[in-house]
């Protein structure tokens, strides 16, 4: 009886176990909608190029989830569990896709960083190029300006030199003019002192007969101031030469008068030689009673005619002849 | 006889335990919660709110199931919630990465335009 009961319970037990196992098992694995769904999800991830490149780990996780689904289905687990595993597989597949897209974006960002650096580098090089060109242009201009400045400076210096020269010349000319004026004034003074007269033949100094005794050709001593002045004048103006002409009045023979006038002219010449005047600068002539300057009818006129005229040349040494 | 009965009872209970896991799945709850936290940290609240909400709803529902004694339902809900949270995290990261990429592309294009304009000058 007890054995019977036991056998009965054992049978019931076996049935219960079978029933329980049956509840867990069910449809064949390949047709299990959970497995089908999980495989589709896994395949969609596996064939995705981005996933292959960037999300290998996530893809492996998806594969594990698929295997869990298949195992659960094969083991005849509760279909709710199979569907949960299938759901997890689908989510894993989506995670793989999201991860892959995310990593692809990051990769592009990295690439872009390099690209941006290249663009900036190129831009900078271009700018540097521009800057270099600009600098070179500026340097060329600076050099040109410097050359111009130097040119201007040297021109200014030349002008300054020229101005200085002109000033010096002006000063020189002014000095010379002053000197010439001084000389002219001195000459005028001395001429005035000699009591010489400006005629068309030049300066003519008339030495009156007071220098000579009647019928004599010797210069009176002690009355030679005019001769001294003339000698000084000739020393001062060495380019001037003299023509010494002697004249008489009409008394006496012509030949005698001519001889006397010549002797008197010679006397003046000798007196000047004595005072250091070169004889080569002078010529003495006797004209006798020719070229009277006054009437020979009166004593006063005759006295005027008895004379020695000293004609002083200009600075070129010219004396127009009579 | 007594020993036989004992063996029978033990076998039955073992088979029953195999299908219905009786203890509260504390570890799974923790795992799901930390997955949610990670997703939020990745910006899921802003960028993948749909997936995040689903995950949070499932965790809440799992709690109800545990209270009702439906441990298996709770376990499955928690498993799903964990992957939902992980998807929310991946999607949030990807959304931000795509936005960054677009921004970088635009800035590169702007840079190209600007440098070519400078070049043209």
Average pLDDT over all residues of chain A: 85
Q: Which site among B54, B90, B110, B118 would you substitute to test the A interface, given the most A Cβ atoms closer than 10 Å to its Cβ?
A: B90
The backbone region for A208, taken as left when phi is positive above 0, alpha when psi lies in -120 to 50, beta otherwise, is: beta
Distance of CA B108 to the CA centre of its chain: 36
Residue of A nearest to B13 (CA): A17
Q: What is the DSSP letter of A296?
A: S
| pLDDT tens per residue, range A242-290 | 899 999 888 888 888 899 889 888 888 888 898 888 888 999 999 998 8
Question: Taking CA atoms, what residue in A is nearest to B11?
Answer: A13
Render pLDDT for B92-117 as a digit per residue (tens, 0 to 9): 999 999 999 999 989 888 888 887 77
pLDDT at A322 over 80: no
8 Å CB contact of A98 and B87:
yes
Q: Return d(Cα A65, Cα A76) in angstroms, integer.
A: 16
Using pLDDT thresholds of 50, 70 and 90, give the confidence band for residue A109.
Answer: very high
pLDDT (tens digit per residue) in A178-221: 888 887 777 777 777 777 777 777 788 887 766 777 677 777 76
Which of A17, A64, A105, A133 would best serve as a mutation to test chain B binding (most B beta carbons within 10 A)?
Answer: A105
Is any Cβ of chain B less than 8 angstroms from the Cβ of A282? no
- For residues B74-78, give the mean pLDDT: 96
Among A152-166, A210-224, B64-78, B89-103, whose mean pLDDT is lowest? A210-224
CA distance A239 to B45: 129
For residue B91, list chain A residues with Cβ-Cβ distance below 8 A: 98
- Are B97 and A105 an interchain contact pair (Cβ–Cβ within 8 Å)? yes
Question: What is the Cβ-side half-sphere exposure of residue B111, based on CA atoms within 13 angstroms?
Answer: 18
Residue A1 banded pLDDT, cuts 50, 70, 90: very low
Specify the pLDDT at position A301. 86
Query: Strand pairing partners for A130?
Result: none
Query: Encoding tokens for residue A229?
Result: 């002045």
* pLDDT at A138 > cutoff 60: yes
Cβ A115–B108 below 8 Å, yes or no? yes
* Residue pLDDT, tens place only, A34-61: 999 999 999 999 999 999 999 999 999 9
Supply the pTM of this predicted model.
0.50
Across the interface, whether the CB atoms of B15 and A16 are under 8 A apart is answered yes
Bridge partners of A311? Answer: A204, A243
The pLDDT, as a whole number, for residue B19 is: 47
Which residues on A lie below 8 Å from B118 (Cβ)? 123, 126-127
Q: Are A205 and A230 in contact (CB under 8 A)?
A: yes
What single DSSP character describes residue B20? S
A116 lies within 8 A of chain B by CB:
yes
Cα of A46 to nearest chain B Cα, Å: 17
pLDDT at res. A24: 47
Interface touch A88/B80, C-beta < 8 Å: yes
Place of tokens 């929310």: B88
pLDDT of residue B15 exceeding 70, the answer is: no
How far apart CA B4 and CA B47 sit, in angstroms, is: 62
Return all residues near A80 (Cβ < 8 A) that are at least 6 apart: B72, B73, B76
């Amino acid at each position: 009886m007890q054995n019977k009961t036991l056998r009965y319970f054992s049978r019931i037990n076996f049935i219960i176990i079978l029933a329980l196992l049956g509840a867990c098992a069910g449809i064949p694995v390949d047709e299990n909608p959970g497995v089908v769904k999980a495989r589709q999800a896994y395949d969609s991830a596996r064939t995705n190029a981005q996933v292959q490149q960037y999300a290998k780990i996530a893809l492996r996780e998806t594969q594990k989830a698929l295997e869990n689904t298949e195992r659960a289905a094969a083991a005849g687990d509760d279909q709710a569990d199979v569907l949960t595993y299938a759901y997890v597989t689908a989510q894993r597949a989506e995670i793989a896709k999201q991860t892959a897209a995310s990593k692809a974006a990051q990769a592009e960002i990295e690439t872009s960083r390099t690209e941006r650096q290249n663009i900036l580098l190129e831009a900078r090089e271009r700018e540097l190029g521009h800057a270099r060109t600009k600098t070179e242009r500026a340097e060329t201009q600076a050099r040109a300006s410097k050359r111009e400045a130097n040119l201007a400076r040297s021109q200014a210096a030349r002008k300054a030199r020229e101005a200085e020269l002109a000033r010096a010349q002006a000063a020189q000319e002014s000095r010379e003019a002053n000197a010439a004026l001084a000389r002219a004034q001195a000459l005028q003074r001395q001429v005035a002192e000699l009591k010489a007269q400006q005629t068309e033949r030049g300066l003519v100094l008339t030495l009156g007969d007071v220098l000579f005794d009647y019928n004599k050709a010797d210069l009176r001593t002690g009355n030679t101031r005019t001769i001294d002045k003339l000698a000084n004048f000739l020393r001062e103006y060495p380019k001037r030469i003299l023509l010494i002409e002697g004249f008489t009045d009409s008394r006496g023979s012509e030949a005698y008068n001519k001889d006397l006038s010549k002797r008197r002219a010679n006397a003046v010449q000798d007196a000047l030689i004595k005072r250091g005047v070169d004889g080569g600068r002078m010529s003495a002539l006797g004209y006798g009673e020719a070229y009277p300057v006054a009437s020979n009818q009166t004593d006063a006129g005759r006295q005027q005619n008895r004379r020695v005229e000293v004609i002083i040349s200009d600075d070129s040494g010219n004396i127009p002849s009579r | 006889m007594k020993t036989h009965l004992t063996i029978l009872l033990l076998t039955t209970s073992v088979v029953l335990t195999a299908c219905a896991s009786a203890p509260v799945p504390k570890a799974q709850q923790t795992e799901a919660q930390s997955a949610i936290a990670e997703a939020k940290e990745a910006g899921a609240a802003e960028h993948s709110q749909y997936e995040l909400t689903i995950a949070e709803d499932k965790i809440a529902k799992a709690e109800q199931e545990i209270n009702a004694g439906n441990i298996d339902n709770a376990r499955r809900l928690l498993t799903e919630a964990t992957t939902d949270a992980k998807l929310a995290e991946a999607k949030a990261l990807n959304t931000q990465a795509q936005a960054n990429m677009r921004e970088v592309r635009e800035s590169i294009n702007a840079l190209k335009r600007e440098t070519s304009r400078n070049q043209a000058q």
